[in-house]
Structure 1
């Protein structure tokens, strides 16, 4: 009789566990953003099962890791997401798509732990996650007790949840990519023109309200057409991405950078004087002069023309006027540059005609 009672009790426990897994799965199916998906999973698993440590590992420098870092500002996820080098991750997981449980020899798996967290674990479960059939990371569980996750335990429910999470990731990925396309330039990853216009209007009003100053730099990449004609558009794209990368690297977190045309960029610098904006461009041009783009054994110098407008003198009436002013200054800079080039060409031509070259 006691044997039947034990079986029924075990069945009841298993049904309760299955119900909790089902509730977690149901709660994530309609979520279409990374922040919501990850935060819901982390909180629900901890709430339903009392697991002390739950976190995600994602293969670094992958499409999904780049997108997560671009879109996610979750404080919880910053603590519970670990980016792992691809080879290091796959050396642990191999081609295994089933959860891996262990309560001894845990040291190799320490590389999956979030770097800022110090977990005292005696057992762990690693459930691989896939995207379009490819392993992209894992959902990880750990406990102080060595009895929580044992190699001989049944993993069907953990595996089932990992499959559901993987399906959700596929949906979220598609949705988030559409969001990115709505506000980012697909080639450079910078903001697009529409988002820049909105940001400029917002920052202009803020600068007027708080009298904090605001500068705008309108930048043109010189000779992009020549690069495209000589080396092909693929090399031209490399050059545009090279410029975008260093605009981001040399700017502040508060600066707003956009690609607004084929070879045109805009930087909005809140709280920045005209002098500081000019100093920024001097540093950028100095760097580019010393560091040409090297691709396919081709060295391509990058030259920029720019115009700067500022609201620190309160003479600009609105955001559109500020942009037009910077555009006009850019036009003047390009005229001067072309005039110098034409003059130098004429001098060189005379010297050549006179046999002096």
Structure 2
């Protein structure tokens, strides 16, 4: 009779199995604790940055937070903020000089759908798309890329584009909860900043002629006078008055008079540079600031405005008529006496330009009168 001897020496004991299972569970538990701590740190960092976003109470500070601060806070080598061009196109007074922000670009996004990685507007993480790499001049060593679309009321208002030479930085399989929440808050902050800017615009733009109002002009006057003194440059001021404007109102009615003011502003604005400032100063009187313009240069511009208006017929509602202008020109030299305050110099510039209008009128109207202060 043969007996089979079952040798169990190679079979793990229950104790060994239990220890192995325990170690596996312990490792999983430690991983969970480590991930929880990491998520807690991430949540804290994202929460701190969200607070920064919400504390940005104007567009300039918000743009800085979304570019320079964002890049530094999260250590992101490449960042480009692309914004919808239409956001700024209807603002008569630019709230911020975008040229100061090297990481901000504006596009008409409806004409550049190729800039959006996901057509459905969802967040993207992965390899850098070639078409976007060329358009945004993304460095060639960027091995991972993320795009965070900014959407409000189902409309794309921009996108934050992030890049890193680390291929693991923005992987397609990574969780996006924190980034999606950050994107939502950034979109809301942009909407709020734009709404605040629209309110500011309404308070600084003349509702009839759509040029600056007196309040805006007074602020700009101080800024430009200060700049002229600081850089020792010329600053010229034009005052424009419609000749016999009261007759237009009395004979044709105030609606025709209002239309005359609107069309005058519309005709003059294209004759100015982007750096010039036109305002409705009061009634039928307009003021124009010409930075870095000497007296002879300002006189040339004033004569050109006078001639353009005098040489055409204006169709105002059901009336056709001609208008002429009396224009006063004053100019200050930024290298003049530095002992005079900015406010006093600004007031002198306006006062002299205004006085030159009356001289032009007394001299026969439809003419330009100049003075150097």
What TM-score, normalized by structure 2, do the two folds share?
A: 0.68
Q: Is the 8 A contact 1:213 1:271 kept in 2?
A: yes
Q: Is the 8 A contact 1:277 1:308 kept in 2?
A: no
Which residue of structure 2 aligns with residue 81 of structure 1? 104
Q: 1: CA distance between counterparts of 2:68 and 2:311?
A: 50
Which residue of structure 1 aligns with residue 4 of structure 2? none
| Cα RMSD (Å) | 4.5
SS of the equivalent of 1:96 reads coil
Unaligned runs of 5+ in 1: 295-299, 339-357
Q: Deviations over 1:153-212 (max 9, x none)?
A: 322211110111111122212222233333333565533213334555776799899997
Which residue of structure 2 aligns with residue 353 of structure 1? none
Q: 2: CA distance between counterparts of 1:260 and 1:281?
A: 17
Q: 2: CA distance between counterparts of 1:148 and 1:36?
A: 27
What TM-score, normalized by structure 1, do the two folds share?
A: 0.70
Q: 2: CA distance between counterparts of 1:68 and 1:154?
A: 42
Q: Is the 8 A contact 2:234 2:331 kept in 1?
A: yes
Which residue of structure 2 aligns with residue 42 of structure 1? 67
Q: Is the 8 A contact 1:217 1:306 kept in 2?
A: no
Does 2:279 correspond to 1:276?
no
Q: Is the 8 A contact 1:51 1:142 kept in 2?
A: yes
Q: 2: CA distance between counterparts of 1:39 and 1:209?
A: 26
Q: 2: CA distance between counterparts of 1:122 and 1:291?
A: 61
Larger Rg: 1 or 2?
A: 2
- Cα 1:3–1:291 change in 2 (3 A) is farther
Q: 1:324 aligns with which of 354, 360, 370?
A: 354
Q: 2: CA distance between counterparts of 1:205 and 1:56?
A: 32
Q: Deviations over 1:213-267 (max 9, x none)?
A: 65432224678879x98x98997687355335314xx3373x4432224553212
Q: 1:184 aligns with which of 193, 200, 205?
A: 205
SS of the equivalent of 1:148 reads coil
Does 2:184 correspond to 1:163?
yes
Higher helix share: 1
Q: 2:133 aligns with which of 83, 107, 110?
A: 110
- Cα 1:147–1:258 change in 2 (3 A) is same
Between stretches 275-284 and 215-224, larger displacement belongs to 215-224
Unaligned runs of 5+ in 2: 1-23, 337-344, 368-373
For residues 173-322 of structure 1, the aligned pairs below 5 Å read: 173-186=194-207, 190-197=211-218, 199-200=220-221, 215-220=236-241, 239-240=263-264, 242-247=266-271, 250-251=272-273, 253=275, 255-261=276-282, 263-269=284-290, 272-284=293-305, 305-310=325-330, 318-319=348-349, 321-322=351-352
Q: Is the 8 A contact 1:306 1:330 kept in 2?
A: yes
Q: Deviations over 1:8-55 (max 9, x none)?
A: 322322222222111111122122111111212334432332111122
Between stretches 141-150 and 180-189, larger displacement belongs to 180-189
Which residue of structure 1 aligns with residue 58 of structure 2? 33
Does 2:123 correspond to 1:99?
yes
Q: Is the 8 A contact 2:93 2:201 kept in 1?
A: no
- Cα 1:39–1:210 change in 2 (3 A) is closer
